[in-house]
Copies of this chain bind each other. A is one copy, B any other.
Amino acid sequence: MESDKQTPIRIALLGCGVVGGAVATLLTANAADLAARVGRPLQLVGIGVRRLDRDRGLDLDPALFTLDSEELVTRADIVVEVIGGIEPARSLILRAFEHGASVVTANKALLAEDGPTLYAAADAAGVDLYYEAAVAGAIPLLRPLRESLAGDDVTKVLGIVNGTTNYVLDKMDSTGAGFTEAVEAAQALGYAEADPTADVEGFDAAAKAAILASLAFHTRVSAQQVYREGITEVSAADVQAAKDMGCVVKLLAICERSEDGGVGVRVHPAMIPRTHPLAGVREAFNAVFVEADAAGELMFYGRGAGGNPTASAVLGDLVAVARHRVGGGRGPGESAYADLPVLDMGDSRTRYFVSLDVADEPGVLAAVATVFADNAVSIETVRQQQVRASGDDSYDDGQRAELVIVTHAAPDSALASTVETLLELPQVHEVSSVMRVEGD
């Protein structure tokens, strides 16, 4: 692998959007430092794009741009893929491996859908596959999981890994705004796409959860195996109910080992206490808690998206892969030896917050408590308060009360069927808010 110190390492960049533009700019601006750190210069040999006539506002040689990415990857030592999505990214990455190039990618969707195929191709070619930027942007998180904690046993990963939804929920929490209004605010600031589906429905976070679970537990988890619930159903009333409980609503990615040796991987909104460190993660920031047997509790915090933060992670990988080109060796490959079953969501143990609008009459609490007991769900706290009758009351004329219940941990299926049965009770007018509770 040793070769002349002046021979550049050839870098092909696929995609030149916000992240690609930042990567290209930093590669050029920091060329001297990068060369000193790698031991050889890094030379950007081409940028694969879909359109040549677009003004990207970048100070780059126009001759670098090409429409022929298939050709470009054959003349690179390292291919940086920041196109995103499944195709053509996958085909181009596999083609890069076939031609002996290592790959640095930020493509969470592809890794979560088809990571093992990529790993196998990298292995077959004896080259590197790095993807720190795929999860939590600038935050060094995957390298710590893949390497720093490789001698420990990770038991849980709990994090805010989608900046868009964190911005939306933070806005709802701080201003009392409804979901739609908060999404519009996020769009106005560029934190949310015109079509925010991938973020607000939790697809983005689910892909990241799959990657985190795979690395943390040395097993294979695909995005399809992740239980996913977005934030579109989170109402201003839910956020207010959380506030009344001393909690805040966050979209969490949760990966955990179960006692029987399986792994639970889920993405859903949850209430967490305001005293929990994740509660203080504001705006579009990301933060991830990791619990390991020997290390105990660790937290990583930083910017989860944006051109420069994501480019920082890409360039860190690029330096690592380039050092291997200079000095030999390869980074860690897939580690999936543990081969653990992924739990059904119904078997995941969670806690529920349930707020019920009930008739204010004797025996209601007993009836409600019986439903919980019948489903073997233990109640942690219950608060009952009279509701003043309002003019637009659409229910009967009787007095009403609100029952606010927080359960102990129980299988999610038991909690779901509890809520279902509660709805059938004649004394229950409405289940006004149901949300999982995390972070104790």
The interface of chain A, by Cβ under 8 A from chain B, is 22, 26, 30, 33-34, 36-37, 132, 138-140, 143-144, 147-153, 218, 277, 280, 292-303, 308-309, 311-320, 323-324, 327-330, 332, 335, 337-338
Q: How far is the CB of A363 from chain B (nearest CB, A)?
A: 46
Which of A148, A329, A335, A337 counts the most B-chain CB atoms under 10 A from its CB?
A148
Known A323-B332, A329-B329; judge A140-B298 contact (CB<8 A): yes
Tell whether, in the assembled complex, residue B151 and residue A318 are in contact, meaning their CB atoms are under 8 Å apart: yes
Tell whether, in the assembled complex, residue A153 and residue B33 are in contact, meaning their CB atoms are under 8 Å apart: yes
Known A295-B309, A301-B301, A330-B329; judge A148-B153 contact (CB<8 A): no
Tell whether, in the assembled complex, residue B299 and residue A301 are in contact, meaning their CB atoms are under 8 Å apart: yes
Provide the residues of chain B in CB contact with A319, threshold 8 Å: 147, 150-151
Residue of B nearest to A148 (CB): B140
Tell whether, in the assembled complex, residue A312 and residue B26 are in contact, meaning their CB atoms are under 8 Å apart: no
Tell whether, in the assembled complex, residue B280 and residue A294 are in contact, meaning their CB atoms are under 8 Å apart: no
Tell whether, in the assembled complex, residue A36 and residue B309 are in contact, meaning their CB atoms are under 8 Å apart: no
Known A140-B149, A151-B312, A314-B151; judge A299-B302 contact (CB<8 A): yes
Provide the residues of chain B in CB contact with A330, threshold 8 Å: 327-329
Provide the residues of chain B in CB contact with A26, threshold 8 Å: 151, 294
Tell whether, in the assembled complex, residue A295 and residue B280 are in contact, meaning their CB atoms are under 8 Å apart: no
Q: How far is the CB of A402 from chain B (nearest CB, A)?
A: 33
Q: How far is the CB of A10 from chain B (nearest CB, A)?
A: 17
A309 to B153 CA separation, bound complex (whole angstroms):
12
What are 8 A-B pairs at a CB distance below 8 A? A36-B335, A140-B148, A147-B316, A298-B300, A298-B301, A299-B300, A328-B329, A329-B330
Provide the residues of chain B in CB contact with A309, threshold 8 Å: 294-296
Residue of B nearest to A149 (CB): B316
Tell whether, in the assembled complex, residue A298 and residue B139 are in contact, meaning their CB atoms are under 8 Å apart: yes
Provide the residues of chain B in CB contact with A292, threshold 8 Å: 138, 312
Other A-B contacts than A151-B317, A324-B329, 8 sampled, CB-CB below 8 A, are A26-B294, A138-B295, A140-B149, A143-B148, A277-B280, A295-B303, A295-B312, A296-B309
Known A323-B332, A337-B36; judge A140-B138 contact (CB<8 A): no
Provide the residues of chain B in CB contact with A300, threshold 8 Å: 298-301
Residue of B nearest to A308 (CB): B294
Q: How far is the CB of A341 from chain B (nearest CB, A)?
A: 18
| 10 cross-chain pairs, A with B, having the tightest CB-CB distances, nearest first | A329-B329, A151-B315, A140-B148, A140-B144, A138-B295, A295-B312, A294-B312, A150-B319, A298-B302, A299-B301
A294 to B219 CA separation, bound complex (whole angstroms):
32
Tell whether, in the assembled complex, residue B147 and residue A320 are in contact, meaning their CB atoms are under 8 Å apart: yes
A280 to B301 CA separation, bound complex (whole angstroms):
14
Tell whether, in the assembled complex, residue B296 and residue A303 are in contact, meaning their CB atoms are under 8 Å apart: yes
Provide the residues of chain B in CB contact with A295, threshold 8 Å: 138, 302-303, 308-309, 312-313
Provide the residues of chain B in CB contact with A324, threshold 8 Å: 329
Residue of B34, B149, B151 near A151 (CB, 8 A) is B34
A355 to B143 CA separation, bound complex (whole angstroms):
46
Provide the residues of chain B in CB contact with A277, threshold 8 Å: 280, 301
Provide the residues of chain B in CB contact with A33, threshold 8 Å: 153, 218, 338
A322 to B391 CA separation, bound complex (whole angstroms):
73
Residue of B nearest to A332 (CB): B323
Provide the residues of chain B in CB contact with A153, threshold 8 Å: 30, 33
Residue of B nearest to A151 (CB): B315
Q: How far is the CB of A196 from chain B (nearest CB, A)?
A: 23
Provide the residues of chain B in CB contact with A299, threshold 8 Å: 299-302
Tell whether, in the assembled complex, residue B218 and residue A312 are in contact, meaning their CB atoms are under 8 Å apart: no
